[in-house]
A and B are shown apart, each in its own frame.
Chain A
Amino acid sequence: MSIAAPPENAPISQEKTGFRKGWPEWIRQLPMRRFPPPKPDFQLIDQQQLDALMESVKADPQAIQRIKDDMQFLDHELLRLFRERDYQAKYEQNRYRTYQITYMVLAALATLVGSLLAVTLRSVPQLAPWFGFAETIIALLATYLATISGREAPLPRWIENRRRAEQLRREYYRYLMDLPPYDTLKGFERRKTLSLRAAQINRGTPAETNSVGKTG
């Protein structure tokens, strides 16, 4: 399937653009069989778009340089964590939906076999044991899948990774816009606070506050 260029106002995302183009929307949202690899160079802010914007608003060259310095630091300290979390969240979402849709198909098959069993019980009773056998196979298959998916359950992993990725995204802008707690800090202290907060978010420790004191 061809990969189309994203439309100009498409949201910034690691997702594959143009996936299942031309298919009904509900089919486009079904899980992928082959999940694409991560994009190691993914950026929340495209460098070329940023340059064009700064030029169009006639931004101060020194301000642009400071922004670029911040972005360079963010790339190493935060963005790499965001990329991993964001990718992992999408991967687990795909896994979760794959399992759930398989269960749905099995449930539909079980209903179908059960109904056919009921319909044929009086007219063709010799078929009943075979329908019973088919129902048992479906139940065993569902139990097998539930057992293997339960070891590293995708739903909590999807939600947790997404939560942390979104928190990292907000922290990225918080640092870049010099919002609290970064507004009162300078140089090394400011950078250290970002590194610490990003690491805490990535670990799962809440850092969604406006002051240094609350997050440690």
Chain B
Amino acid sequence: MASSRPDLEARYHMFEKFALSDQRNYYKSTVSRFREAAAQVNRIRALMALLTGVAAAAASTIVSASPQCNIAEPLPECGVIITGTSVLAVLAVILPAIAAMFGTLADLYQWDRLVTIYDEALLNIEVADAQSPDREIEDDVTYHAAFLAFCEGTLSVMTDESAQWGQSIRTPAQIEKFLEDARRRAELHSGDASTGENGAGG
């Protein structure tokens, strides 16, 4: 069908632009977006951990520095100190829960793992690109062989990347455990053991 030289050349340019270059752009933009998202979430987790430590340390310091307020009937001027330490204690509870939520978000999106997959695909697509046929090849058989190697190499990179992507998608273990605990707790109250059998996949 596409055996004539002009036909092959036209198809080569088409494949180079719409398949290979598009795929390369996709890998590049995905790697950049995923790296950014992973870094942002990591910063939020670190910030939450830092604030938790500060809140706990501040609460403990205030309590140690105000012994007159740590008695059964504290002085009236202790109101601000008691409120302050209560707020800090609540923060020391809330912030780790938020940090854990962002940890699960990172596990759900698998940014770091996918960046590795797409980075590797980018390197492989350059290898496929290196096999592209040159207009200066005079022999049509050689041109056709180079064209085949170029296209098959690119499609093979796409196949490998798809297969690896499929293997990397998993429901985070923390969510599986939470659903299992919730199901057990719900059963205690409803007495129904059959609910949510497939929930982990959801």
Binding site for B on A (CB under 8 A): 9-13, 24-26, 28-29, 44-45, 49-50, 53-54, 57, 59-60, 62-64, 66-67, 96-97, 99-101, 103-112, 115-116, 119, 135-136, 138-140, 142-147, 149-151, 153-156, 158-159, 162-163, 166-167, 169-170, 173-174, 176-179, 182-183, 185-186, 190, 208, 210
Contacts and interface: CB of A to CB of B under 8 A. Distances in A.
Secondary structure at chain A's binding surface: helix, strand, loop or mixed? Answer: helix
Nearest to A100: B108
B178 A59 contact: no
Contacts of A108: 97-98, 100-101
Contacts of A97: 108
B83 interface: no
Given A11-B22, A96-B202, A110-B178, A140 B186 contact: yes
Nearest to B162: A166
A53 to B, nearest CB: 6
A59 B10 contact: yes
Nearest to A116: B93
A176 B26 contact: no
Contacts, number: 226
Contacts of A135: 185
Interface residues of B, number: 71
- The 7 lowest CB-CB distance pairs between A and B, nearest first, are A146-B199, A149-B202, A150-B198, A60-B6, A153-B201, A11-B26, A146-B196
B22 A66 contact: no
A28 B181 CA distance: 31
Given A60-B6, A149-B202, A176 B155 contact: no
B151 A163 contact: no
24 contacts: A50-B18, A54-B10, A57-B9, A60-B10, A62-B6, A63-B10, A64-B10, A100-B171, A103-B175, A103-B179, A108-B101, A136-B186, A140-B186, A140-B190, A142-B199, A143-B196, A146-B179, A146-B182, A146-B202, A154-B201, A155-B201, A173-B155, A176-B11, A182-B1
Contacts of B155: 170, 173-174, 179
A44 B159 contact: no
A50 B14 CA distance: 7
Contact of B36 (A25, A63, A155): A25
B182 A138 contact: yes
Contacts of B117: none
B18 A44 contact: yes
Nearest to A115: B93
A205 to B, nearest CB: 16
